Amino acid sequence: MAGDTPELDVVEQVLDWFHDAWDPDLPLLDWRDRLVESGWAVPSWAPDWYGRGLPAWADRVAHAAIRGAGGVATPLGVGMMLAAPTIHEYADDDLEQQLLRPTLTGEYVWCQLFSEPGAGSDLAGLKATAVRDGDTWVVNGQKVWTTSADHADLGLLVARTDWDVPKHAGLTYFAIDMRQPGVAARPIRQMNEHQSFNEVFLTDARVPHDHVLGSVGDGWRVARATLAHERSFSVLRSTSFAPRAAGRVVDEARAEAAEYLKTYEWYPQRAGRPDLLAERSQASGRSADAVVRQRMMVVHELQQASQWTADRAKAARELGRPPGSEGSIGKLALSEVARRSHVAHTAIAGAQGMLRSGHDPLDAVVAEVLVSTPAQSIAGGTDEIQKNILGEHMLGLPREPSVDRSIPFKDVGRSEPRGTRHD
């Protein structure tokens, strides 16, 4: 990029293209097709793959410029944030050709089929099994906590394909069609009464061999890449359009965002709603209380420090560096903000914080905060797991002791009766 102001150059180029290309009366998918075709959906990717070969920061700058000009940028969610980069990095050309464009346009909704009832933190200990049958793989097993599985078109699936090697070596990563008879998603009702995730039962579900990402047995490496993207991804980062934009494209993007946010409507409460603390303390007349003030200040300090870490991580990503330990630090910081904010809301509201209705509609929001914040330190890898990652990768501490890393997975002791299909 020439010049001293590369961001402004990118803005100028994307707006030149946008003013010619923008047609507010197009259907949303047709507009996104145009966007993908132009290279401005993911300008940091190579020109052969819907990009323009620009630095990583150009994605953010281009999307902001398009939104700012009243247009619609790429979709939100797991497809764009996890599936697209994983496919781009690990799918072969044919699969990439097949899956990328409809993922970038938002036509395909994705979910992440990683966790199982006995394998969350110990993801490499998963047991859902894929067995090859000619050109397809037949998958059996159960996944759990799968956000959006009940309305996803495709799933990022990690399954065991070899029980005779140690646990990390026997996994394969697939893109599986969720709309087939062998896949059943059953929503789980949470203690905050939302239903954003599911149990998923895979019964002789089929995946074509050409839907393997990476190679057979290399699923752990691919899964780690997805997880690294997940740690640096915020589901509620922004919308794909400016609030005051208008036209058919925008109306459809607004409907798409509303549908998407239904799943995530409790996520702000999960994050602790620190933004409500000052207002709630004043409304309740407790803003002069020394304990309340101290608790609110702790949240503020943590938020500031974690914002700087997030900015540092973003700057590193925009310089083209792979996601690193900042993702784990940032994730830990968000858990701490949520926890401390929960404590501050409790100090402000007292027992009233448990009421789901009251004089003020925000009472229900605070009640939801109190039952939603525990999820913040679990989703995407628990706090303890982030600490293990930081200990090993940043501090160089010895790996935590483990008895099952080097023996064939079929020989690892487990509670299920012997004689099951895997023994």
Ligand X SMILES: Cc1cc2nc3c(=O)[nH]c(=O)nc-3n(C[C@H](O)[C@H](O)[C@H](O)COP(=O)(O)OP(=O)(O)OC[C@H]3O[C@@H](n4cnc5c(N)ncnc54)[C@H](O)[C@@H]3O)c2cc1C
Q: Which CB, 195 or 352, lies closer to ligand X?
A: 195
Place of tokens 């940032």: 330
Q: Which CB, 330 or 381, lies closer to ligand X?
A: 381
Min CB(395)–ligand X separation in Å: 15
Site for ligand X, residues 163 to 222, rule: CB under 6 A: 197
Of 70, 78, 63, 73, the closest CA to residue 111 belongs to 78
Min CB(11)–ligand X separation in Å: 35
Of 29, 28, 53, the closest CA to residue 40 belongs to 53
Place of tokens 């346009």: 105
Of 10, 7, 16, 24, the closest CA to residue 254 belongs to 24
Q: How many CB atoms lie within 10 A of CB 240?
A: 25
Q: Which CB, 177 or 383, lies closer to ligand X?
A: 383
- In the list 66, 381, 389, 409, the residue contacting ligand X (rule: CB under 6 A) is 381
Site for ligand X, residues 77 to 116, rule: CB under 6 A: 111-112, 114-115
Q: Which CB, 70 or 120, lies closer to ligand X?
A: 120
Q: Which CB, 200 or 302, lies closer to ligand X?
A: 200
**CA-CA distances (angstroms) from residue 328 to 76, 107, 390?**
22, 31, 7
CB under 8 Å to 170, separation ≥6 — which residues?
160, 161, 162, 163, 164, 217, 409
Joined tokens for residue 31: 């507009």
C-alpha span between 91 and 102 (Å, rounded): 15
CB under 8 Å to 142, separation ≥6 — which residues?
116, 117, 128, 199, 200, 201, 202
Min CB(377)–ligand X separation in Å: 8
- In the list 14, 228, 334, 379, the residue contacting ligand X (rule: CB under 6 A) is 379
Joined tokens for residue 58: 């150009």
Q: Which CB, 54 or 223, lies closer to ligand X?
A: 223
- In the list 121, 180, 203, 307, the residue contacting ligand X (rule: CB under 6 A) is 121
- In the list 370, 378, 390, 412, the residue contacting ligand X (rule: CB under 6 A) is 378
Sign, CA dihedral 93-95-98-99, equals negative
Q: Which CB, 120 or 217, lies closer to ligand X?
A: 120
Min CB(121)–ligand X separation in Å: 3
Min CB(360)–ligand X separation in Å: 27
Min CB(5)–ligand X separation in Å: 40
Min CB(170)–ligand X separation in Å: 18
The backbone region for 217, taken as left when phi is positive above 0, alpha when psi lies in -120 to 50, beta otherwise, is: left
**DSSP-assigned beta bridge partners for residue 207:** 137
Binding segment (CB under 6 A) for ligand X, from list 8-16, 39-47, 327-335, 384-392: 384-392
Amino acid in the structure at residue 139: V
Q: 191-195 long-range CB contacts below 8 Å, 24 or more apart?
A: 191/371, 192/266, 192/269, 192/368, 192/371, 192/372, 194/265, 194/266
Min CB(325)–ligand X separation in Å: 17
Min CB(155)–ligand X separation in Å: 9
- In the list 185, 200, 365, 375, the residue contacting ligand X (rule: CB under 6 A) is 375
Q: Which CB, 199 or 218, lies closer to ligand X?
A: 199
Which positions from 129 to 158 touch ligand X by CB under 6 A, shown as an x/- string?
----------------xxx-----------
406 binding ligand X? (CB under 6 A): no
Q: Which residue lies nearest ligand X, judged by its C-beta?
A: 120
Q: Which CB, 281 or 372, lies closer to ligand X?
A: 372
Q: Which CB, 120 or 208, lies closer to ligand X?
A: 120
Of 348, 308, 350, the closest CA to residue 330 belongs to 308
C-alpha span between 154 and 177 (Å, rounded): 5
Q: Which CB, 62 or 158, lies closer to ligand X?
A: 158
C-alpha span between 115 and 130 (Å, rounded): 16
Of 139, 228, 220, 125, the closest CA to residue 178 belongs to 139
Site for ligand X, residues 294 to 333, rule: CB under 6 A: none
- In the list 16, 23, 193, 384, the residue contacting ligand X (rule: CB under 6 A) is 384
Min CB(329)–ligand X separation in Å: 17
Which residues lie near ligand X (CB under 6 A)?
111-112, 114-115, 120-121, 145-147, 197, 375, 378-382, 384-385, 388, 400
